């Protein structure tokens, strides 16, 4: 069974070496696991909450997209997209907003921190607090629940948000699931042993401390940054203490055990700091050189990046669109045109009851097949008119079913063409069970 891993990257800054070691590199490694079904996306709606500079938003989206691809993310295997290309996400955000307790959001750390700061400054408690900031956790819950993620790897500051997504999902399941788990409840994953890199001054590397090493600057910029790493004043020839040197900590994050042992011995033997910096520069340049070239090639071809991200969005929406349809039904947003036709009409066994529900959308006529419990078995393609859709539902009940497994879902074909698709399942076994249920629901009666 595959595990769906999902995480978002807020597109405000330019990625630095700390982001690379702490988030990008481990996420790309995790996405290569054959058991992993990874969803990585640019959280650009979230970025709007923190930043009202359009040029910076645009620049950061481009840089972050290019960074992940340059570092080796395989956009064919993982699903890599921009949040803002998935209109189902804001729509789901509203459905979730309607079941999210205000009291729950009052407790969110980020909102509380703003309020505390205002109170301390003698301001109105909500001064400068937008509804975007207040509702941040609901948007994040929609990101996660939309794709029924099992695992959500995040930094410690985001744990509470994933817990809120669970709370909100659970409440929605309870209110509208009719005993069924509409949403998978996500689990937070904190990578304990992932490196938090020290910055130039030894504090955690962070844009807010202005102590970062750029990831994809030129070799010259990398060298200049390394030259600014703060060291103690021991002269060349004097033994250095590797365990109290953040230069050594940085070296460790990118080297093998043998390289570390050799570097440690050199420092203890009195290597000059200037030499030590040259060693670190070479190590980093070697680690990042190829990716840097790929990055610069990508960033000069923004139209190609656009295509890659749009393909990712299309892949994500193949899941999001039918699932949101199901969610809309579950809360009572249903078409007035729905014609209920009971598939088992005239059949003897009530256990086989399933019903076709047809409806009209902008792109044509579709139908769903729901089982006796109202669970969706199939969603059809769009047909030119209601009659064509009706003929297909008749044939599906009369003819032998031609089912094709496709990843975690399956399709139904007539005359070799797919006419309807199942929802996504979380395992092959679940998918196969649903194929069996469909056969039973539509089996011609003797």
Both tokens of residue 410?
């399956």
Closest CA to 354 of 430, 420, 437: 437
154, 189, 308, 353: residue in contact with ligand TRP (rule CB under 6 A): 154
Nearer to ligand TRP, 19 or 330 (CB): 19
CB of 269 to ligand TRP, least distance (A): 42
CA distances (Å), 112 to each of 108, 123, 125, 174, in order?
6, 14, 9, 28
Mapping DSSP to helix (H, G, I), strand (E, B) and coil, where does residue 39 land? strand
- Residue 1 neighbours by CB under 8 Å, 6+ apart: 35, 426, 427, 428, 429
Dihedral angle sign, alpha carbons of residues 100, 52, 201, 199: positive
Nearer to ligand TRP, 154 or 381 (CB): 154
Any contact of residue 158 with ligand TRP (CB under 6 A)?
Answer: yes
Nearer to ligand TRP, 108 or 434 (CB): 108
Q: Which stretch binds ligand TRP (CB under 6 A): 3-11, 239-247, 319-327, 371-379?
A: 3-11
17, 24, 27, 43: residue in contact with ligand TRP (rule CB under 6 A): 43
Q: Which stretch binds ligand TRP (CB under 6 A): 138-146, 275-283, 403-411, 414-422?
A: 138-146
Nearer to ligand TRP, 164 or 441 (CB): 164
Identify residues 211-240 at the interface with ligand TRP (CB under 6 A). none
In this structure, the number of other CB atoms found within 10 A of the CB of residue 206 comes to 16
d(CA 49, CA 80): 22
Any contact of residue 46 with ligand TRP (CB under 6 A)?
Answer: yes
Q: Among all residues, whose Cβ is closest to ligand TRP?
A: 8
CB of 141 to ligand TRP, least distance (A): 8
Q: Is 370 exposed, middle or buried (0-12, 13-18, 19+ CB in 10 A)?
A: buried
- Residue 338 neighbours by CB under 8 Å, 6+ apart: 357, 358, 359
Any contact of residue 152 with ligand TRP (CB under 6 A)?
Answer: yes
* 100 DSSP 8-state letter: S
5, 8, 412, 423: residue in contact with ligand TRP (rule CB under 6 A): 8
Q: Which stretch binds ligand TRP (CB under 6 A): 62-70, 140-148, 305-313, 365-373?
A: 140-148
d(CA 234, CA 240): 7
381 — phi, psi (to 5°)? -70, 175
Any contact of residue 189 with ligand TRP (CB under 6 A)?
Answer: no
73, 144, 288, 419: residue in contact with ligand TRP (rule CB under 6 A): 144
Q: Which residues contact ligand TRP by CB under 6 A?
A: 6-8, 10, 43, 46, 140, 143-144, 152, 154, 158
């Amino acid at each position: 069974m595959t595990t769906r891993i999902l995480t978002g990257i807020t597109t405000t800054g330019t990625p630095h070496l700390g982001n690379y070691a702490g988030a990008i590199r481990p996420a790309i490694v995790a996405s290569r696991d054959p058991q992993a079904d990874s969803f990585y996306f640019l959280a650009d709606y979230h970025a709007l909450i923190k930043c009202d500079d359009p040029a910076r938003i645009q620049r950061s989206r481009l840089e972050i997209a290019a960074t992940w691809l340059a570092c080796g993310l395989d956009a064919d295997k993982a699903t890599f997209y921009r949040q803002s290309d998935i209109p189902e996400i804001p729509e789901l955000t509203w459905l979730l907003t309607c079941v999210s307790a205000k009291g729950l959001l009052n407790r969110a750390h980020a909102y509380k921190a703003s309020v505390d700061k205002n109170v301390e400054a003698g301001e109105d408690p909500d001064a400068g607090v937008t509804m975007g900031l207040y509702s941040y956790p609901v948007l994040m819950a929609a990101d996660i629940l939309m794709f029924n993620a099992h695992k959500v790897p995040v930094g410690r500051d985001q744990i509470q948000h994933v817990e809120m997504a669970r709370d909100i999902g659970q409440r929605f399941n309870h209110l509208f699931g009719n005993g069924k788990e509409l949403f998978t409840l996500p689990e937070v994953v904190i990578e304990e042993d992932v490196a938090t890199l020290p910055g130039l001054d030894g504090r955690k590397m962070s844009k807010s401390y202005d102590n970062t090493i750029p990831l994809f600057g030129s070799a010259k910029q990398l060298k200049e940054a390394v030259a600014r790493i703060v060291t103690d004043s021991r002269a060349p020839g004097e033994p250095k203490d590797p365990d109290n040197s953040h230069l050594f900590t940085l070296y460790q994050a990118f080297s093998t055990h043998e390289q570390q042992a050799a570097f440690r011995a050199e420092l203890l033997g009195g290597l000059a700091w200037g030499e030590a910096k040259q060693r670190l520069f070479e190590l980093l340049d070697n680690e990042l050189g190829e990716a840097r070239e790929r990055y610069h090639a990508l960033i000069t071809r923004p139209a190609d990046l656009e295509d890659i991200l749009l393909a990712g969005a299309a892949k994500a929406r193949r899941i999001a669109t039918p699932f949101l349809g199901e969610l809309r039904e579950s809360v009572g947003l249903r078409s007035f045109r729905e014609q209920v036709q009971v598939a088992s009409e005239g059949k003897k066994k009530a256990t086989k009851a399933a019903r076709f529900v047809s409806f009209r959308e902008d792109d044509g006529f579709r139908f769903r097949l729901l089982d006796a419990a109202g669970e969706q078995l199939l969603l059809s393609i769009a047909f030119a008119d209601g009659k064509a859709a009706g003929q297909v539902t008749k044939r599906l009940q009369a003819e032998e079913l031609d089912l094709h497994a496709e990843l975690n879902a399956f399709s139904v074909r007539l005359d070799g063409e797919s006419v309807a698709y199942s929802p996504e399942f979380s395992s092959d076994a679940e998918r196969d069970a649903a194929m069996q249920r469909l056969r039973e629901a539509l089996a011609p009666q003797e």
